[in-house]
Structure 1
Amino acid sequence: MTSPHWRPDGPNLVVHADNAGFLPTLPDESFTMIYVDPPFNTGRVQRRQQTTMVRSESGDRVGFGGNSYATVKGALHSYDDAFTDYWAFLEPRLLEAWRLLAADGTLYVHLDYREVHYAKVMLDAIFGRDCFLNEIIWAYDYGARAKSRWPAKHDNILVYVKDPKKYHFDSAEVDREPYMAPGLVTAEKRELGKLPTDVWWHTIVSPTGKEKTGYPTQKPEGLLRRAVAASSRPGDWVLDFFAGSGTLGAVAFGLGRKFICVDANPQAIEIMAERLGVTATVVSHPAAG
């Protein structure tokens, strides 16, 4: 059943819903960009799942080495029992993301070092390895310092495209950075700045800044602004179905994009209603948590 709330010429939406129930109500290929920052701790009871990895010439996904597999779950469960549940939680939602991306669309999946390697294998299986565009490293320098190992001060953002021959990417729209060695380039280049690489140095949301909403996993607007600017156009629809504090919506509105932000957490909806309420319609779907 198609959602009664969304239509291509309709308003921006903040949707209180379980994304597993809401995403199937959206039409195919509706979004030029999807960004998600999924949780790892799903709260589900761990279980061992014996699944055989079956190579299939007619499989619908391309995985390791360009070969086609019906599933890769069996190989992974032996490495990390907890991932069995993470796969069951995340895979159907990422399959929906693939369906919802337009032919020129791009998916950004924001993770950290604990699960990024598992999710990379999952996304290779869903999208195909030839659709992997980048692994962006978001580096920051804030918080406690470990003394018994190298302090972890980065997140990973996996970037996949729907079609490696058609995806939209406009580097001219991306904010530029100062050169790290400005004395080695011309004055003209210094003034213009350089295009970012796949390592993005950006501070976290300031605990005392005006951007702070109080939501514990809030991401800085500058981080998402770069992704939205590069991978969508003014007027395009963008989607975040683990929306949290609604940073994607705030950035999308500022850049002239249309957005849907989905979350099952009432606290997130309350924060987004305050942050985005003037720019979006807040609705509740029957699948709300």
Structure 2
Amino acid sequence: MPIKYIPYTPNTIEGQAVLDNITRTKRVLRYRENNEVYNRLERGMPYYEVETVEQVGESSDNLIMRGECVSNCAYLKEQGIKVDLVYIDPPFASGVDYAKKVYLRRNPKLAEKIKTAKKELNSEDFKFFEEKMYGDIWQKEEYLNWMYENLQAIRSIMNENASIYLHLDTHIGHYGKILMDEVFGEDNFINHISWMRSHAHGDSGQGSSHFGRVVDMIFYYRLGSEGVWNPQYLDYSEETIKRDYKYKEKDGRKYRLAPVDGPGGASKGNPYYEFEGISGYWRFSKEKMQKLYDEGIVVKSSTGKSLSQKKYLDEAKGKSVTDLWDDVYRVSPTSNERVDYATQKPEALLTRIIETSSNEKMIVADFFGGSGVTAKVANKLGRKFIHCDVGINSIQTVRDRLVAEKANFTIKEVKDGVNLFRNPQQTMDKLATLITGLQTKVEGVSNFWLGAINDSKLGTVPVYVPDLIDSQQKLLDIPTINRIINQEIQNLSINAKKVIVYYIDIDDEKELKKFIKENNATTTDVELKDLKNLLHETVVDDELEFSITEGKGEYTVSIDKFTSDRLQQKINEFNEKGNLQAINKGKKFDPINISEEGLELIELISLDCKNSEGEWFSSTEIKIDKLGYVIYDGEKSKDFWNGKITSKEKSLRIKVRNISGDESIVSVE
């Protein structure tokens, strides 16, 4: 349950994602179930307890938060934190499932043999399987209502002169623009930026029935009359300089010149101009010369009238950036920026946005932080950052990137009572197997229900589970119950004696049961169940066996054995599926086999020599990359992991992260 609800704005919300003011000739643009959105906005943002998970470096205002956008904004507003710049790259409603490749690490014993043989590690030889990170599959109306609520929450914690950039693609971008107009005001719209993220080739190239899709849409809004605006420029290319300008060395610097035409220009009626004693005939009109003057080029007329001041080439601002960004490309597979995170954006893109719309020490926030590029670039440019995401892989990715940058930050987690595994999508995929006897796609039971249980006494019992991907469904309230008893139960084509309704949060259980009793016109019994109890009972922590030795002023922790039930299940599923596919194709399948020690399932080990409980403090840590090399406290090396980690002080706790991102903490007695 939320501790309380925080108002989106000081006054009651007026307006919603209905957009009745936009009238079509045949219909009014209206979003389904908008009344529920309005009720949630009136109620306010749910404010949950927030736990500090880890402090990295010195205390600072930089935050990494695991939680949903609205809940994160509630926390920031309650703490009185206002942001100066927001960049968000939310799901695009693209209809695509995003997955990450999970690579097994080298067994330390095998890696040592390879090192002895002086054989280079090749990632093509590695074993990996894929895990779904999130499903970007939405009904349009659901997506827009969800986005509208998020934008309202973000607006509530922005400074009066703040800026926001919303990054979408052509699937949903035009609707996003309408929402931005309503939430932030049409008068505050500055630019529709077209980002040409790649050349039209490969999967971006022209298809059998469409042009190459290479452009994303970024909508830029700036609040207030004193918002930050730092114009951006592109360097003049050598081709442009050679074509349009000549220059002369003087005093060790280069003066920029306009192109000089040959003798005879003056006799044809063209003005005669002189540059720092270098004379020539110019074919430019007086208007053209005025333009050159406005650009700061050193020009003097034949009459001796000076048109501008001295200007050096190395001081020229360059070509102004327009709203077509065709000079920033997506992160290539071979780029040093690559962190193997789906939807990763290039640092150059965020550099331009952050430099344009913020100054040093200002707060830059990203509420769908993903790979953490916004936080990394903000830190590099001397800004404060707030990175938020609901997926644990996002939190770990940005944490590791910032550790490598020697940044200071605090990691916090919104305690909404749900163990979401690594992300909501994986939890939803798992739920059907967690509810005993549940069958999906039961005849007579609509998709509103997750499925149904076949009870020997009651017959078919439909089961409702809130969609954890859609934060709007996490709270069970009267509008939801009203829909269930007065719509969904009555629409069942079976005679259900009972339905089970799972919930994450519940508005007022006593009041809801009273409402059901007074308003349920059917003979169907409605049983309410707490989904958190089910989730908590299913989590099995990874197991770690280790030994510690002391000598030569340091402590050595040796990892003897690592067991992960969750990973083993995933690998078994992968092997079974792969073997079946191979049989059908008449091919041989090479399964993933785990060694007895299981050390190839470990990605990161951290030692806490400061705290025996509470928030984590990483005194020292190692991360093993997919090539098997060790990263020591953010510093890359060419060392193979030997199954050990050392520290100057005795460790009080050990944290191990497996290759899928699950973390386990073991106390050292």
Distance 2:379 2:88 in 1: 17
Deviation at 1:4, TM superposition (A): 7.6
Distance 2:358 2:331 in 1: 24
Alignment pair present for 1:22 and 2:151: no
Change in 2 beyond 3 A, CA 1:99/1:177 = farther
Matched letter for residue 184 of structure 1: D
Deviation at 1:24, TM superposition (A): 1.4
1:104 maps to 161
- What is the aligned residue count? 246
Deviation at 1:186, TM superposition (A): 5.9
Alignment pair present for 1:184 and 2:244: yes
What are the superposed Cα offsets for residues 241-286 of structure 1, whole Å, 9 maximum, x if unpaired? 0000000001001100000000001111111111123422222121
| Paired residues of 1:98 and 1:162 also in contact (CA < 8 A) | no
| Paired residues of 1:177 and 1:195 also in contact (CA < 8 A) | no
Deviation at 1:10, TM superposition (A): 3.5
Instruction: Find 1:33's aligned residue among 52, 71, 85.
Output: 85
| Paired residues of 2:51 and 2:413 also in contact (CA < 8 A) | no
Matched letter for residue 68 of structure 2: D
Residues 95-104 or 113-122, more deviating: 95-104
Deviation at 1:114, TM superposition (A): 0.8
Instruction: Find 1:143's aligned residue among 202, 223, 228.
Output: 202
| Paired residues of 2:51 and 2:412 also in contact (CA < 8 A) | no
Distance 1:216 1:261 in 2: 17
What are the superposed Cα offsets for residues 139-162 of structure 1, whole Å, 9 maximum, x if unpaired? 121532223221011111000112
Give the TM-score taking structure 1 as reference length: 0.78
Matches within 5 A, 1:227-238: 227-238=353-364
1:272 maps to 398
| Paired residues of 1:176 and 1:194 also in contact (CA < 8 A) | yes
What are the superposed Cα offsets for residues 95-118 of structure 1, whole Å, 9 maximum, x if unpaired? 122122111110000111111100
| Paired residues of 2:167 and 2:217 also in contact (CA < 8 A) | yes
| Paired residues of 1:241 and 1:263 also in contact (CA < 8 A) | yes
Deviation at 1:39, TM superposition (A): 0.2
2:323 maps to 198
Distance 1:257 1:15 in 2: 17
RMSD: 2.5
SS in 1 for 2:319: coil
Change in 2 beyond 3 A, CA 1:200/1:186 = farther
Matched letter for residue 112 of structure 1: D
What are the superposed Cα offsets for residues 30-68 of structure 1, whole Å, 9 maximum, x if unpaired? 11100000103399xxxxxxxxxxxxxxxxxxxxxxxxx
Deviation at 1:185, TM superposition (A): 4.7
Distance 2:375 2:345 in 1: 12
2:216 maps to 155
Deviation at 1:127, TM superposition (A): 1.2
Deviation at 1:168, TM superposition (A): 1.1
Change in 2 beyond 3 A, CA 1:157/1:186 = farther
Of all paired residues, the percent bearing the same amino acid is: 29
Residues 33-42 or 117-126, more deviating: 33-42
Residues 241-250 or 138-147, more deviating: 138-147
Change in 2 beyond 3 A, CA 1:124/1:283 = same
Distance 1:18 1:234 in 2: 27
**Higher RCO, Cα 8 Å, sep 6+:** 1
Alignment pair present for 1:125 and 2:182: yes
1:168 maps to 228
Distance 1:11 1:123 in 2: 28
| Paired residues of 1:34 and 1:240 also in contact (CA < 8 A) | yes
Distance 1:186 1:131 in 2: 42
Matches within 5 A, 1:200-219: 200-201=325-326, 202-219=328-345
For structure 2, the 5+ residue unaligned runs are 1-46, 53-58, 96-137, 248-255, 257-296, 298-312, 421-669
Alignment pair present for 1:250 and 2:376: yes
1:56 maps to none
Instruction: Find 2:172's aligned residue among 90, 115, 119.
Output: 115
| Paired residues of 1:42 and 1:89 also in contact (CA < 8 A) | no
Distance 2:222 2:341 in 1: 29
For structure 1, the 5+ residue unaligned runs are 44-80
Distance 1:197 1:167 in 2: 19
Change in 2 beyond 3 A, CA 1:175/1:16 = farther
SS in 1 for 2:415: coil
Higher strand share: 2
SS in 1 for 2:364: strand
Matched letter for residue 194 of structure 1: K
| Paired residues of 1:42 and 1:86 also in contact (CA < 8 A) | no
Distance 1:167 1:237 in 2: 13
Higher CA-based Rg: 2
Deviation at 1:29, TM superposition (A): 6.9
